Structure 1
Amino acid sequence: MSWKPIGHVSSLFLLGGLSSGRKPCSMYISRQLLASSFPRDPQSTDGVLNARICSGASCVYGSVLCCAVQEGGDELGRAMGSEPASGAGTRRRRERSPEEGLPAVHSRQWAMARRALMTVLLFSLILGGSLLLWGYVFQGCGPAHCETPVCRDLLSLYLASGNTSVAPCTDFFSFACGNTNRTTSSFQALAKENKRRLQRILEAPGSWHLDSGEEKAFQFYSSCMDTGAIEGAGAGPLRQVIEELGGWPVSGDWTPLDFNRTLSLLMSQHGHFPFFRAYLRPLPTPPYTPVIQIDQPEFDVPLKQKQEMNYAQILREYLTYLNRLGTLLGGDPNKVGEHASFSISINSQLYQFLRPPEQQQAQGKLFQMVTIDQLQEMAPAIDWLSCLQATFAPMSLSPSHPVAVHDLEYLKNMSQLVEKQLSKHRDFLQSHMILGLVGTLSPALDSKFQEARRLLSQKLGELTGRPPTPAHPRWMTCVEKTAAFFKPTLAALFVREAFGPSTRSAAMELFTAIKDALIARFQVLPWMDEETRAKVQDKVTQLQVKMGAPEWALKPDPARQEYDDIQLGPSFLQSFLSCVRSRRARIIRSFLQPFPNHRWQVLPWGVNAYYSIPDHVVVFPAGLLQPPFFHPGYPRAVNFGAAGSVMAHELLHIFYQLLFPGGCPACDTHALQGALVCLERHYAAFPLPNGTFFNGSRTFLEDAADMGGLAIALQAYSKRLLWYRGETTLPNLNLSPWQLFFRSYAQVMCRDPSTQDPQDTHSPPTLRIHGPLSNSPAFARHFHCPHGTLMNPSSRCQLW
């Protein structure tokens, strides 16, 4: 169909997105429509009206393009086929018809009748055409309401979280997020919802056709949820594990094994590392090859800050916790207290040996490559080859095998401490390892052990001012453990349930629109030179995107032999330990295979997108592309405002280096520096709620990505709205599509400002909303914000 501009018509015609199933009327109305409505000169080559897009008109509150159509006089007459005063119409009047020879009276009577007839006909055509256009434009171009279940759920969320009594131009954070006491962020809420989806999958095995590996995953979850059986077994399964390690001096017979034999069993069979951690990961620097890395251990409590006011109380609470563990295992209270005090002393000394990561970075030594043989010489108390070989079987290790050590001085001091204690307090050293193992295995033990852990977390939170680890409901603990041990199976089931082909296709379409808008954005940045523009465009073009889940999770038949080595039962603890060993062996086997171009660093149900520098890959997991951030059935305004702004934010991570001094030598550094200063002042001008912290020097990169991400997503949405039909909005919100876009952006950032971590590299949620939105002229225009209000400041910044 051919489209031509519309001329002047004496009405206002809305030029916006049509509801689904109708022709787009973003800027055009069809030749056939106008031709059927208005008569025209059969010799005219322009049978439709010429379009004019006029500013200042509004057909729907804050809606898309509208056209103020005015009375057109002669131009309207020409378009409708009436006779203008000159031109072709004049020539036609001079042409005589065969009836020109009739008498004058009859000619005048016929002319009068013809004029009357033509007047009635013309009036009828004008009236009919106006009614037709009114029905076509006003009824067809306005955004329809999305009434689907997913839209109704989204509407309920927006109504519950927002506070519409607050003026959006003075406090949009409260307008969007003010009615919810958010102790968690929107991302944390989405992560919890994804776990609930996994719960629903695991609690409905009859809904799936399961293979043997998948059956084990469902059986493990079921046994984890069988708290009656776990409570009935009590500490019995744990005592059996301790006996296999040689026993415990305070709770029964003790047959001491060789120290390194016990340590090897703890590391390889139980996943417990009392003196150091050893794991297999790619090196953090080129060529990123996988290597065994040895790092400091993980401590239950910080035991170094003796100058702290609550240090003594922290020690007492930790001692109480260890005493409780020993009592639960049937130990003599006096002996338990003595051995628990020794364990605290060991941990405190080990903690003193640590170097802070900041110090290691300042010295330029994130890790040091040594051979196992060299490590044996520097830290001889540990039989490194034996312990590492048992832990990383089936890898074949030798004394010349290289390992990456993150703190060699710590390992030297640790070795000296172990040698000293082995010569004097061998039984106490055994107790230290056993008590640490009990803490590691507490998630697989009965409620008494878990309650001891919960009380310790609560007390430490009160003493240190840090929020304690939240107590998870049992279903969430079991989902997390099942997901950790049966990741391939749950990944495939989650993708099948939550990220089907239509969702993946819609997400890729959204990403493509965002990427195109990013490239277009770079073309107009005032501080970027042409050479840099070309380079960044090439970098975006070469970028890989991983969407949803790893390739192996998208295959219809994931590895069915993954879990042959898992033996479930007779107790849940035994099942837990069998899964620990199976998972470690799986990880090692995966690293022994040819190294892929990119290893996913997030689970498919995770919510953290990221950019991998070495692989030049941006990753958006399926768990992120879920309601309320994204759904194929949502209004486009929601998807672009929420998920689209997140995508644009992550893409800007690629170009952070340009913002650092010297990062863009060919750019207009004066203009760039001015934009950075403008951004800093822009954020510093906003008031902050009491109890929140802001450090612009720490957050400026994320602030820049927030501001640029919104602008890029808005540009992508504007283009999509112009060229595609079928825009919808949510009922009962009284928000236009544009306003819904900004509302959806804010929803992503909603959380309680008082929960902000002072070390967070992101700004407080109020700034993450007010900073970018107030920098957008479109926001002020579509919400009709008076000049000078918080959300419509006198000046704005253009960084990205």
Structure 2
Amino acid sequence: MDQNSSVLQGTLEVSQEQPQSEESKSLVRNQCVNILLALLGFFHIGSIAWLLLYSQMSLTNQDSPTCLSPACKGVAGRFSAALDPFSRPCDYFKFTCASKASITSRGRQRGKFIFHNRTREQEHRRRSINKEEMLRLARDSDSEEKQNEPFERLPDRQTALLQAIKEILESPVVGVSVNSVEHKARRFYKTCMDPIAAESVSSERFITLIEQLGGWSVSRNWTEPDFNATLVLLMEQYDTFPFFNVYVGPDHRANQPNSSQHYIQIDQPEFQFTVDWNNKKHKYQSNPQSWRSFYLFCKKLLELFDVPSFDITLLCGQYLSLCSTLVIATSPLEYRLSQKLLYHRVTIQELQMLAPAIDWLRCLKATLHPVPVSQSDFVLLHNLPYLTHMSKIVSEWKLKPDTMKSGPLHMYMVLTLLHSLIHTLDSKFTQTLKNISNAIGVEDVPRWRDCVLQTIKGFDNWLSHAIKENYALKEAEELMHDIYSSFESKVANMSWRDEETRDIILNKVKSLTPKLSSSTKLIDQLKFWKQHYAEVVVSEKDYFANYLQLLALHQKRRSSIFFHTEQPDWLSVSPFLSGNDIIIPVGMFVLPVFHPSYPRAINYGMLGSLIAKDLFHLLLPEILAQSESPSLESACVWSHYLSRSKAPRRLANFSLPSPQQKEVWMQYSALQVALQSYTKSLQRHSIDTSVSGLSHIHLFLSSFIQASCDSEPYRVSMPFEPSFLVSVLCETSDICPKPLICLDRSQGRLPDWC
């Protein structure tokens, strides 16, 4: 029993018994006074701590030198009034991450909940509203209330990384040997971007390549080559996988004792057209518009090779028929996870019995040469139902009498190779690809982005090293350790359901070591690859030949993974686990979310909050089942939102579903962790620079609002824009430079337990 309970029990006993002596009454009074004094003392100490923190973080602009670096000048324009939570406190809940052009399409606007006159049917439907509709009402608001100025939204992480690599590849370089990896990477990128080099590659180059594969059915005196022989050539020399995908990696299932051991992994392939997933039938279904567009795309490609129109109709019809038959057995990753279709372990010999149409041992030996592969080796399958279905379809098409002369299986493999090489051909082909992308609603990929992605395929180790040299310096290490330390503190101070769970989670968090992926292993990898890069001769005017060399290099990279205990994804854009390390990739430390010259308030507010959010998702996926804190804290944040926005009255008693509770807590906790980390940084280095004349905490919070618009899959679970969390933080602490008070709005009363 605690001290307060003892006092309460003692008081009750005194009231029920005969009058006690003055000495006993005095003793009870003294105990009560001591408790009150202790509480006041704790409150006083806490107030002093907050005042000290406030005074430290709210340094005047006169004490904060303005950052004048090119990076700071570039980021200054992002802090518009739309990002300032203190410029219009009455409108803070209306903030939207959508850009001006995408507001209507995203439907993520903020404001009052306005209901117009309804019919009887509409009113009945309103009364039977479900949870999803309730959340939609909480999220969406009338567009006429939205008054925020548009601002430049941050690029998604992948785009930011590619833009940083683009700058590195295009930057001038002095004193670099023409035989160095750096020079070859830059030259490869330059020929990819060179329109003159691309125009020199006509259809004849690809036809020559086809002849090396045995030709195709539109050639004279054509005899269809052996199916598995062609498949082996495509996989070994051209890194092309028409019927399935092959890569190498560890077994990521939980509680695997040999998680560092690498296995051959076989997955479903990627298709070049769009299909729709039916959640009720758990199957892909055809998209008529996509099929029509892709059929016309096939016809146009064959016309560019001067194939007769009669043959075009037949070949494209067979091609799409085979595609549609194969794709119905594929399934999205989320469904395969739910059905436990990933990491199905079998031997190659067992796989041969399950899917006999493919010569698996021959194909895998060619793909992974010089790695020795035998029938008894284990492979990990990620969609066994698809592989058995694919084998059955291949066997059936081999025996179709009406397809013997046209060779549809061979044609399918040739067109798959063409699609992977189409960006290396002249503008007639690239324009055809662009037209099909527009027709089926797929965003056209800019040339620079495609060229950067292709360069990464062959030179990712050097590019990771270059990013580390340009961005991830000691400031990155410091931020990473501060964030993880604050994350540990947050986890340790939570209310857990039982001591055993608490110990398991804390031990898990404390056992991991945060590391930048720019470790010495990266340098070792780069040294290892120099001998392979030495064999690559990059032409200044022949991108087609350069790309074929890159495909061969990529095949060697795949086989080399077996010779190393680790092969982290150096250019990932989110943290991941690798043994007892938690890897923070250097690909996260790029503009505009991070730069060594930024004020630390920006670095911690933007990238710090993103890393913290990733850590919660990565390490605490089942948090609601393990701790009571998330549901209580998210309920309090939700109460803040309902009391500050004019939500429908019936939402007052509406509690968030579990996924929303979890996401609200994680994002609010990420803000708290990032702020605590920045506080630690200020304690070590009291001076920080400023941008746009903002105080440190002002700059930190505005930076968090920018980062809260980061495009993440789990952001969809938020019932409101994450920027609202700033107002919750300001209302529950004295940390903000001025209060977020709206005088012209009657605000609801929060629950006492908040």
After TM superposition, the score normalised by the length of structure 1 is 0.71
> Quick one: distance in 1 between partners of 2:477 and 2:161?
21
Correspondence for 2:607 among 624, 640, 643: 643
Secondary structure of 2:91's match?
coil
**Matching residue of 1:786:** 741
Correspondence for 1:492 among 447, 465, 469: 465
| Contact preservation (8 Å) 2:95, 2:723 | no
Measured at CA, do residues 259 and 679 of structure 1 come closer, stay the same or move farther in structure 2, by a change above 3 Å? same
Which residue identity does 1:260 align to in structure 2?
N
Which residue identity does 1:626 align to in structure 2?
V
Measured at CA, do residues 395 and 170 of structure 1 come closer, stay the same or move farther in structure 2, by a change above 3 Å? same
> Quick one: distance in 1 between partners of 2:740 and 2:240?
59
**Matching residue of 2:686:** 725
Matches within 5 A, 1:533-572: 536-547=505-516, 549-554=518-523, 558-559=527-528, 560-568=530-538, 571-572=542-543
**Matching residue of 1:449:** 429
How far off is 1:656 after superposition? 1.7
How far off is 1:709 after superposition? 1.1
Measured at CA, do residues 144 and 273 of structure 1 come closer, stay the same or move farther in structure 2, by a change above 3 Å? closer
| Contact preservation (8 Å) 2:517, 2:570 | no
**Matching residue of 1:150:** 71
**Matching residue of 2:166:** 196
> Quick one: distance in 2 between partners of 1:329 and 1:494?
42
Correspondence for 1:364 among 333, 336, 340: 340
How far off is 1:198 after superposition? 2.6
Correspondence for 1:275 among 236, 243, 268: 243
Q: How many residues align?
A: 640
Matches within 5 A, 1:124-143: 142-143=63-64
Measured at CA, do residues 158 and 411 of structure 1 come closer, stay the same or move farther in structure 2, by a change above 3 Å? same
> Quick one: distance in 1 between partners of 2:683 and 2:747?
25
| Contact preservation (8 Å) 2:594, 2:602 | yes
Matches within 5 A, 1:57-96: 64=56
Matches within 5 A, 1:341-380: 341-355=317-331, 357-380=333-356
Residues 128-177 of structure 1: CA deviation (Å, up to 9, x unaligned): xxxxxxxxxx9998434334443333223324974799504532774998
> Quick one: distance in 2 between partners of 1:557 and 1:316?
46
How far off is 1:478 after superposition? 1.9
> Quick one: distance in 1 between partners of 2:436 and 2:596?
45
Correspondence 1:418 to 2:382:
no
Correspondence 1:675 to 2:645:
no
| Contact preservation (8 Å) 2:250, 2:262 | yes
Secondary structure of 2:516's match?
strand
How far off is 1:765 after superposition? 10
Matches within 5 A, 1:320-335: 320-335=296-311
Bigger mean CA offset, 205-214 vs 253-262: 205-214
Which residue identity does 1:629 align to in structure 2?
V
Measured at CA, do residues 154 and 676 of structure 1 come closer, stay the same or move farther in structure 2, by a change above 3 Å? closer
Bigger mean CA offset, 441-450 vs 619-628: 619-628
> Quick one: distance in 1 between partners of 2:599 and 2:751?
29
Correspondence for 2:414 among 434, 438, 454: 434
Residues 351-375 of structure 1: CA deviation (Å, up to 9, x unaligned): 2233555554444342422222222
Secondary structure of 1:553's match?
helix
How far off is 1:376 after superposition? 2.0
| Contact preservation (8 Å) 1:379, 1:416 | yes
> Quick one: distance in 2 between partners of 1:797 and 1:335?
77
> Quick one: distance in 2 between partners of 1:549 and 1:409?
39
Residues 394-440 of structure 1: CA deviation (Å, up to 9, x unaligned): 12122222222223332222222212222222422222221222112
> Quick one: distance in 1 between partners of 2:714 and 2:489?
31
How far off is 1:648 after superposition? 2.5
**Matching residue of 2:549:** 578
**Matching residue of 1:171:** 92
Correspondence for 2:706 among 740, 744, 747: 747
Measured at CA, do residues 509 and 239 of structure 1 come closer, stay the same or move farther in structure 2, by a change above 3 Å? same
How far off is 1:343 after superposition? 0.5
| Contact preservation (8 Å) 2:575, 2:583 | yes
> Quick one: distance in 1 between partners of 2:235 and 2:743?
63
> Quick one: distance in 1 between partners of 2:275 and 2:79?
45
**Matching residue of 1:774:** 728
**Matching residue of 1:708:** 669
| Contact preservation (8 Å) 1:630, 1:639 | yes
Correspondence for 2:695 among 731, 736, 739: 736
| Contact preservation (8 Å) 1:488, 1:558 | no
Correspondence 1:621 to 2:575:
no
> Quick one: distance in 2 between partners of 1:407 and 1:479?
31
Which residue identity does 1:320 align to in structure 2?
L
| Contact preservation (8 Å) 2:397, 2:409 | yes
**Matching residue of 2:598:** 634
Which residue identity does 1:621 align to in structure 2?
P
**Matching residue of 2:575:** 610
Measured at CA, do residues 518 and 59 of structure 1 come closer, stay the same or move farther in structure 2, by a change above 3 Å? closer
Bigger mean CA offset, 671-680 vs 481-490: 671-680
**Matching residue of 2:652:** none
**Matching residue of 1:470:** 444
| Contact preservation (8 Å) 2:701, 2:726 | no
Correspondence 1:318 to 2:299:
no
**Matching residue of 1:510:** 479
Which residue identity does 1:449 align to in structure 2?
F
Larger radius of gyration between Structure 1 and Structure 2: 1
> Quick one: distance in 2 between partners of 1:406 and 1:149?
47
How far off is 1:780 after superposition? 7.7
**Matching residue of 2:217:** 249
How far off is 1:239 after superposition? 0.8
**Matching residue of 1:38:** none
Secondary structure of 2:373's match?
coil
Secondary structure of 2:582's match?
strand
> Quick one: distance in 2 between partners of 1:768 and 1:571?
48
**Structure 1: gaps spanning 5 or more residues:** 1-51, 67-137, 462-467
| Contact preservation (8 Å) 1:185, 1:749 | no
Measured at CA, do residues 264 and 632 of structure 1 come closer, stay the same or move farther in structure 2, by a change above 3 Å? closer
How far off is 1:315 after superposition? 1.8
Which residue identity does 1:233 align to in structure 2?
V
Residues 699-746 of structure 1: CA deviation (Å, up to 9, x unaligned): 544432211011122223334435642233224x4x322211111111
> Quick one: distance in 1 between partners of 2:745 and 2:321?
56
How far off is 1:629 after superposition? 2.5
| Contact preservation (8 Å) 1:381, 1:418 | yes
| Contact preservation (8 Å) 2:461, 2:525 | no
Which residue identity does 1:543 align to in structure 2?
L
Measured at CA, do residues 717 and 361 of structure 1 come closer, stay the same or move farther in structure 2, by a change above 3 Å? closer
Residues 55-114 of structure 1: CA deviation (Å, up to 9, x unaligned): 89x999x85489xxxxxxxxxxxxxxxxxxxxxxxxxxxxxxxxxxxxxxxxxxxxxxxx
**Matching residue of 2:562:** 592
Correspondence 1:293 to 2:269:
no
How far off is 1:558 after superposition? 3.4
Measured at CA, do residues 647 and 688 of structure 1 come closer, stay the same or move farther in structure 2, by a change above 3 Å? farther
> Quick one: distance in 1 between partners of 2:715 and 2:308?
48
